[in-house]
Homo-oligomer: A and B are copies of this chain.
Amino acid sequence: MHSSRPALLTDHYELTMISAALRDGTADRTCVFEVFTRRLPAGRRYGVVAGTTRLVELLQDLRFDETEVAFLRDTGVVDEATATWLSTYRFSGDIDGYAEGELYFPGSPILTVTGTFAECVLLETLTLSVLNHDSAIAAAAARMVTAARGRTLIEMGSRRAHEEAAVAAARASYLAGFGFTSNLAAGARYGIPTAGTAAHAFTLLHDDEPAAFASQVAAQGRSTTLLVDTYDIAQGIRNAIAVAGPELRAVRIDSGDLAVLAQHSRELLDSLGATETKIIVSGDLDEYAIAALAAEPVDMYGAGTAVVTGSGAPTAGLVYKLVEVEGRSVVKRSERKATVGGRKTAVRRHKPSGTATEEIIVSQGTPDPQPNDRPLQRPYVSAGKPVRLPTLTESREHLRQCLISIPWEGLKLSAGDPTLPVTVVGA
Contact = CB atoms under 8 A, between A and B. Distances in A.
A359 B24 CA distance: 60
Interface string A314-349: 110100111001000011111000000000000000
Interface residues of A, number: 102
B205 A13 contact: no
Given A3-B4, A160-B315, A205-B21, A9 B166 contact: yes
Interface of A: 1-6, 8-17, 19-21, 23-24, 26, 29, 31, 33, 58, 67-68, 71-72, 75, 77, 79, 117, 121, 124-126, 128-130, 132-134, 156, 158-168, 182-185, 187-188, 194-202, 204-206, 211, 215-216, 218-220, 229-232, 255-256, 305, 308-310, 314-315, 317, 320-322, 325, 330-334
A182 B247 CA distance: 57
A332 B204 contact: yes
A185 B198 CA distance: 37
A196 B11 contact: yes
Contact of A16 (B128, B166, B220): B220
A12 B182 contact: yes
Contacts of A256: 334
Copies in the complex: 2
B129 A162 contact: yes
Contacts of A194: 12, 75, 77
Contact of A219 (B3, B68, B79): B79
A200 B322 contact: yes
A146 B334 CA distance: 31
A216 B132 contact: no
A126 B201 CA distance: 16
Contacts of A161: 129, 132-133, 162, 165, 315
Given A159-B128, A205-B322, A133 B215 contact: no
A204 B330 contact: yes
A125 B187 contact: no
Given A11-B159, A17-B201, A132-B159, 8 more contacts: A1-B67, A10-B183, A11-B184, A13-B196, A19-B219, A20-B198, A205-B325, A229-B334
Contacts of A29: 205
A315 B163 CA distance: 12
Contacts of A26: 205-206, 215
B322 A204 contact: yes
A11 B158 contact: yes
A33 to B, nearest CB: 7
A189 to B, nearest CB: 8
B232 A184 contact: no
28 contacts: A1-B68, A4-B4, A10-B183, A10-B185, A13-B182, A14-B199, A16-B197, A16-B220, A19-B219, A21-B215, A24-B206, A26-B206, A29-B205, A75-B194, A121-B199, A128-B159, A129-B159, A129-B163, A130-B163, A133-B165, A160-B317, A162-B162, A200-B322, A201-B321, A204-B330, A230-B333, A230-B334, A256-B334
A8 B165 CA distance: 13
B124 A159 contact: yes
B20 A325 contact: no
A219 B163 contact: no
A204 B197 CA distance: 55
A359 B262 CA distance: 39
Nearest to A76: B220
B219 A20 contact: yes
A77 B188 CA distance: 12
Contact of A4 (B2, B11, B255, B322): B2
A202 B17 contact: yes
Contacts of A134: 162
A219 B9 CA distance: 23
A61 to B, nearest CB: 12
Given A29-B205, A315-B161, A333-B230, A185 B8 contact: yes
